[in-house]
Amino acid sequence: MRGISVAAVLTAFAFSATPVCAADNQDGPSISIVQITEAYESRPPILLPLYVGWSALQAYDGYSTLRGVRGGAPETNPVVGRLAGQPVALWTVKAATTAASIYLAEQMWRQHHRTRAVVIMAVANGVMAAVAARNASVIASQR
């Protein structure tokens, strides 16, 4: 098995090093291959879980808001309060907010504001976790 993988690597290397046209060929144009690569810096391991956490917390906030309002609890956020009686509108705003937040964090990351992207997502997750905890306590008190 190891011999096959070494042979495959050597074969791939040999073909990748073969010139497209011989330099001393006078009959046709000479072609040079220039490979331009951009350095790829991977995201920190925490950024993807922050996106997933943000999405999950937004989903729970939508669910718990609708459930709490149906149970008679007042919505303290005036913007969401208007949407609490309209589930489709609330879920649309939640989805748009979630997508826009992730998109903006990605833009910050690509524009080399990497620490800022991570910090903003971490703070947003923390605030939404506090909102979710409050919603959970309101729902629990309705029982």
Domain edges within the chain = 47-142
Helices marked H in 17-113 — which ranges? 47-70, 78-83, 87-110
The total of other beta-carbon atoms located within 10 Å of residue 117's CB is 22
55 near 124, Cβ under 8 Å? no
> Which is higher by pLDDT, 1 or 121?
121
The mean pLDDT value for 38-67 works out to: 88
- pLDDT computed for residue 41 by the predictor: 66
> Which is higher by pLDDT, 44 or 14?
44
The mean pLDDT value for 76-95 works out to: 91
Half-sphere exposure of 58 (CA within 13 A, CB side): 21
pTM score of the predicted model: 0.69
